[in-house]
Amino acid sequence: MPEEMVREIERHLRKLVLEIGPRPTGSVNNQNAALYIAEELEKSQLSVEFQSFDCINWEPGGATFFLGGRKVAIKEADYTLPCRLEAAVNCIGSVEQLERSIIKGEIVFLFGNLTEEPLMPKNFPFWNPPEHQRIIRLLEEKAPGAILFLSCSRKAMVPLIEDGDFSIPCAVVPAAELDFLQQNNQSPGRLEIKAFRKKAKGANVIARKAGKTPRIAISAHLDTKPFTPGALDNAVGIASLLTLGKKLGKSRMEKELELVAFNGEDYFSNPGEAIFFERNLSSPEEYMLGINIDGIGFRNGQTGISLFEFSPEDRARLMEIKAGFPGIKEIEPWPQGDHMVFALKGIPAVAMTSAEIFSLLESIIHTTEDKLELVDPKRIVDGVEFLQEALNKW
């Protein structure tokens, strides 16, 4: 295990997680992270550009809710508008009930089949189920004064709506409060959410090493949710990208290499991915492969890979390379990362993440517990060496 690579990865992780901290898109921390990434890639003798876009910088300030003579535990939803409201609480547990309801100006509490999974933001560009759009449309038409919703997970405070384009204030209620709110249906409540939105700028950071097309792209996202230090999600991916860039920057390669630090994977509208999809992937035939790194290096598990749009021949080639790395295994398809930007264009794509990604998403990812202590830099080195060998043999 090259100790120099371990130290290099530890340096990047400390910078991103401990010194910079949470890196929500549009924030000062996010901009500082982008500058750091660009500086490190330039040191690797790669040409670097910023791909800028408009966004909002959302600042949370906390939330309080009083009902039935006591304070109820809540958390403001990311990107929500603020409010100060005293109104009746109306509990609604199904789409059918929502359709029949008259809730204008009230505090509506959503639970039941309305909160089984988070809703896609209203203007999300890549995937937006009609049933999600229907709920959003009903809420906007019926115009409650504010929305409380039961957490979509019993293990963490997972909001139903995280959307900077949504104009109704929102907050999350933990599962333990369900019975109490139902018992106090139609009772007066007092809700205050402190938060604000302001216009901001964000940017992808793209580095290139010249060569022939079709090119190979390797990506990782630099942003986080507002409250999390984002060690596994996704300081580990950026550390991998910077380490790989340093190793490949001075080497000779036939194919053009593109290293992409996406900005906005954890932002409600994926602005960095959307602008890259529109501009860089307008000619998908110029890409032969997209590899995305997001969540590798979990101390208590292996690295997982899943493949999209691969021919049987190319799959066999990659599996042959993987056979030399026992710490890496193929997992069931994980369609929630930036590799899908490439797969949606029909470009063969690889997702590199944790083999435990599905359980981590329920308990650690997007929370304040996503800390450096969960990361084993040696597992990241293993992933970087796998990628280097794959690139050399591809």
Residues 380 and 259 in one domain: yes
Question: Rounded to an integer, what distance in angstroms lies between the CA atom of residue 7 and that of residue 2?
Answer: 9
Question: Rounded to an integer, what distance in angstroms lies between the CA atom of residue 71 and that of residue 92?
Answer: 21
**Percentage of residues in the chain having pLDDT higher than 90:** 89
Question: What digits encode the pLDDT tens for the residues 205-223?
Answer: 999 999 999 999 999 999 9
Kindly compute the dihedral angle of the four CA atoms of residues 329, 361, 120, 26, in this order, to the nearest 10 degrees.
-100
Model pLDDT, residue 29: 98
Residues 363 and 217 in one domain: yes
Residues 48 and 74 in one domain: no
With respect to residue 193, please indicate whether it lies within any of the assigned structural domains.
Answer: no
Mean pLDDT of 122-146: 94
Mean pLDDT of 160-173: 97
With respect to residue 64, please indicate whether it lies within any of the assigned structural domains.
Answer: no
Residues 252 and 336 in one domain: yes
For residue 263, which of 68, 64, 47, 37 has the smallest C-alpha distance? 37
Give the CATH number of the domain where residue 99 resides: 3.50.30.30
Are 307 and 316 a contacting pair, CB within 8 Å? no
Residues 178 and 226 in one domain: no
Question: Rounded to an integer, what distance in angstroms lies between the CA atom of residue 338 and that of residue 292?
Answer: 6
Domain that holds residue 378: 3-56+201-393
Query: Chain-wide mean pLDDT for the chain?
Result: 95
Model pLDDT, residue 195: 96
- Give the domain-ending residue among 127, 152, 186: 186
Residues 88 and 132 in one domain: yes
Specify the range with the lowest mean pLDDT, choosing from 147-151, 159-163, 262-266, 332-336: 332-336
- Give the domain-ending residue among 186, 220, 251: 186
- Give the domain-ending residue among 138, 157, 186: 186
Token pair 């009930």: residue: 97
Residues 164 and 225 in one domain: no
Beta-bridge mates of residue 330: 305
Q: Whole-prediction pTM value?
A: 0.92
Residues 295 and 362 in one domain: yes
Q: How many domains does the chain have?
A: 2
Higher per-residue pLDDT: 234 or 227: 234
Model pLDDT, residue 309: 97
Beta-bridge mates of residue 110: 92, 149
Question: What digits encode the pLDDT tens for the residues 289-330?
Answer: 999 999 999 999 999 999 999 999 999 999 999 999 999 999
Model pLDDT, residue 26: 96
Residues 158 and 253 in one domain: no
Residues 177 and 207 in one domain: no
| Tokens linked to 56 | 């909002």
Taken in order 238, 244, 250, 254, the sign of the CA dihedral is negative
With respect to residue 9, please indicate whether it lies within any of the assigned structural domains.
Answer: yes
With respect to residue 224, please indicate whether it lies within any of the assigned structural domains.
Answer: yes
Within 10 angstroms of residue 314's Cβ, the number of other Cβ atoms is 15
Q: What angle do CA 23, 50, 60 make, to 5 degrees?
A: 25
With respect to residue 63, please indicate whether it lies within any of the assigned structural domains.
Answer: no
With respect to residue 194, please indicate whether it lies within any of the assigned structural domains.
Answer: no
With respect to residue 62, please indicate whether it lies within any of the assigned structural domains.
Answer: no
Instruction: Give 1's pLDDT tier (boundaries 50, 70, 90).
Output: low
Terminal Cα-to-Cα distance of the chain (whole angstroms): 23
Model pLDDT, residue 214: 95
Mean pLDDT of 189-195: 98
Token pair 């359980």: residue: 359
Give the CATH number of the domain where residue 282 resides: 3.40.630.10
Instruction: Give 93's pLDDT tier (boundaries 50, 70, 90).
Output: very high
Residues 249 and 374 in one domain: yes
Check pLDDT > 90 for residue 54.
Answer: yes
Check pLDDT > 90 for residue 149.
Answer: yes
With respect to residue 389, please indicate whether it lies within any of the assigned structural domains.
Answer: yes
Beta-bridge mates of residue 172: 75, 149
Instruction: Give 198's pLDDT tier (boundaries 50, 70, 90).
Output: very high
Question: What digits encode the pLDDT tens for the residues 337-372?
Answer: 999 999 999 999 999 999 999 999 888 999 999 999
Residues 38 and 158 in one domain: no
Check pLDDT > 60 for residue 156.
Answer: yes
